[in-house]
Structures are given as structure tokens and as C-alpha cells.
Structure 1
């Protein structure tokens, strides 16, 4: 059975990838939606490789069995020696521990990144100069991502947010002094390159950390454009509503 270790590991990893990408939306916790086809293809290829490895291993066992029948002294003794040392054609027994991460991904996929990741990362604002932004859509409230809201608040010389009611959705993070933020993680490709965007919320009590909320309010200007005092942007809250975590918890950077 130990010889089938590589096939089992390939099958588990392939099945885990297919579970999160083909049979649900869990893959959005890790990568952008556009990468889904590549995940599905990767999962299928790994499963097919597992089948091929299992078939080849089975064929090799059959050939060795035939050789053992013909030679009563050579091959059986060598095989016994290999097993006594805990390794052989299939590698060391410790390699079976590699199946544990694959099983964990298959049975218990990790959650999306949250407040811990956002707080661990230093605030990094876009390397863009002060300038004008396109006009916002007519009508209030206007739905904005945290990344766009922050860029307009810090860099927009046209002050497109002035007098507008905005609606921001994200999860709750909080400082030690009680200041709280609606926060979202921004990704270019996958969760590994995530950066954070947030807005300080004033005028409402903070829900528990990591709670997903939709905050409706108005931008409260702080500091001069492009300055450290302008970050993070501030929103004077009109309402805070708890919402479920969206299928795609990240914003595209």
C-alpha cells in the first residue's frame, strides 16, 4: 500500500483543488475569479496523474511478483531489506505525512483573510500623484469599493466625494484605542499579494472584529491631499448594517 503514496497524494491535492474551484465559490478566498479555469484544469490533471501513477505502480508490483516466483533467493530478500529500513521504490514512510495538508484543504478549507492580515500589514497607499478622478455616478448613496474610496479621499483634487453619500462594504477592524474601520483586502492575483484598504468610521459603535458590514455615510475630509494626515480616510456614519461575507471577499487592485 505504501507504494501508492504518490498516487494518493496527487489524488488528494487534485480533489481539493476541484472541490474549491469546480463545486463552489471557495476558490474566491484565494484567487481572482478569472483564474478559475486554470484551477479546474490543474485539478483534473492531478487526478489523471494519480490514476496513471497508480496503474504504473500496480503493473510494477505484478512484474516483481512474477520475478519472485522465478527466483526464490534474490528479489524477495532485497525487498525484505528495503522494508526493514522503511523505504524503497515508493520513498520513505514519512512521506505519508504530506497527505495531511492535502486532507486539511479537502475537508477544512481555510477562511478568507481577515482582520489579522489587515492589521499585520503596514498601510501602503497607491503610488499615484494628486489629480482628478472621473465623476461619480448620479444618485445617492453611491456604492464604492474601499480602494476607490481611499484613492479619491486622499488624491482627488476635484473632491468628487464632497457632499456625496457613499456605501462601503467590508469587515470590521479596530485599533487598541477603540477606533474602528471598515476594511477590505485588495488583490492583484491571489491572496498571497493582498494589501489592505480601510476607512475610519465615526458616529457608530463598533460591531465585533471581523464582522462584515455595510456602512453608509459621508466622507469627512482630514489633512491636505496626498498627506499622511489624509490617511486613512474618514466617513461620518449614517447607518451600519451587518451583512454576510460576500462570495468574493476581496477587491481587485
Structure 2
């Protein structure tokens, strides 16, 4: 790969990273919010490296050689061109600008099992919930309490959960679902709550569900899916950060 092409790729990739992290919040479809400063720094560094490489390449092309010709003439006479496959490296960059891939959603969640890992809080007991309700909760936190809290802190409490709808096996059944990431979308874990009561929203629709936990004995298992009896289901717009 020629120096000019390498410089161009550095600039374009760096600009794409800056585009999704500095000038928009598209990066939230791929990584957690806390990684934004690192993305900005990486994008800026790539652009600088590309500009330096381009400046060096231009200087080499314009510098006279011993035979009196410019470096451009010598380069033109001896270059064998850049392998065509090298240009394929531009496809991910173009995808960011033109396609803007969506965050992981209903398709991913529907083809993965719910994961409710036993939290460290389960050993010493969960912190008490606010005295007044309804209580807004992360869906993953609700799952953890419903599955692992032997003290039954959710009994009789009305909670508010936010997520997107995915169909469940059986006619009319559906899950409220959310994906949780530790670092990036590649490590996403799925949290699900089976919703009973009310009509099922369209697949992938974002909703806010207010309801009560319905104990049914499915506890103490990483793959357990708790049940919520819905008092109200309200459609909402997709949040800017789709992951928990």
C-alpha cells in the first residue's frame, strides 16, 4: 500500500471516529458513554498521523532526484499501484457516513437468552427501594431483584421499566427487553421481563411499562425470566443511549 493511500485511510478513519464521537452521539450505538474521550483522542490522533503522512508523501513527490526529475516523475515511473483490496478498507468508513448502522435491538435480543447473573449485592442483601412509588428501575436491576432477592423487596411495589418489545413463544406473549453492555456492543447481555396484561406492542417498539412483579417461583437461576403484570404500557421514542 502506498504512503499516500495509508495517509488517506488514516485521515478518513480518524474523521469518521470524530464524526460519531465529537459531532454526534452515534458512538453510543457501539460503546458506552464513558469511552467518548478515548474515541475523540483516537480520532484526532489518526487525523494528525494521516496529515503528517500526507505532508511527507507530498514532499517526497516534489523533491528533485539526482537525475533532475521530480520525485513525482520517479514515483510515476516505478510505482506498481496500490492493491485493489486495500480500497476495501474504506467500506467501514463509508458505512458510518452513509448507512449509519443501528444499535443492537430486537433481532439480537430475540436470538439470545436472558442473562441475570447473581449480583454481589445478593450476598449482603439488596438496598431498600424508595418508600414511595412507582419506582423507576433499570430493567437489569429489576431482573436481579426478582430472581435473586430472597427478601422479596419487590413484593407489592409498583415499578416503571423501559425497553423494547420482543415476541415470546405462544400467541400474544411478549417480553420487555433491554441490552446491557460493559464496554461495547460486542459484549451485550440481554435482560427480559415477561409482560402480562395489555396488548403486545410491535416487535422492536420502545415502551414504558408500569406494573407489579408477579412471583412465580422462577428464581435463583441465571436464565430465569421474571414476570410483570402491567398496569400501563406507554409507547416512547428510542432513547439516545439504547443500552443500559
Same fold (TM over 0.5): yes
- 1:18–1:39 contact (8 Å) kept in structure 2: yes
Bigger shift: residues 128-137 or 14-23? 128-137
Query: Equivalent residue for 1:14?
Result: 14
Query: Equivalent residue for 1:204?
Result: 198
Runs of 4 or more above 4 Å deviation: 75-79, 128-131
1:169 partner SS: strand
Following the alignment from structure 1 to structure 2, what is the Cα–Cα distance between the partners of residues 61 and 96? 22
Query: Equivalent residue for 1:95?
Result: 86
Measure how far apart 1:114 and its partner are.
0.1
Measure how far apart 1:93 and its partner are.
3.3
Query: Equivalent residue for 2:116?
Result: 125
- 1:167–1:216 contact (8 Å) kept in structure 2: yes
Query: Equivalent residue for 1:148?
Result: 141
TM-score (norm 1): 0.86
Query: Equivalent residue for 2:180?
Result: 186
Following the alignment from structure 1 to structure 2, what is the Cα–Cα distance between the partners of residues 123 and 233? 10
RMSD value, Cα:
2.4
Following the alignment from structure 1 to structure 2, what is the Cα–Cα distance between the partners of residues 151 and 96? 47
Following the alignment from structure 2 to structure 1, what is the Cα–Cα distance between the partners of residues 211 and 164? 16
Match runs of 1:64-83 below 5 Å: 66-67=64-65, 70=68, 79-80=76-77, 82-83=79-80
Q: How many residues align?
A: 239
Query: Equivalent residue for 1:108?
Result: 99
| Unaligned 5+ runs, structure 2 | none
- 2:211–2:230 contact (8 Å) kept in structure 1: yes
1:133-184 CA distance string (max 9 Å, x none)? 1110121110011101001101111111100111000011112424211100
- 1:68–1:76 contact (8 Å) kept in structure 2: no
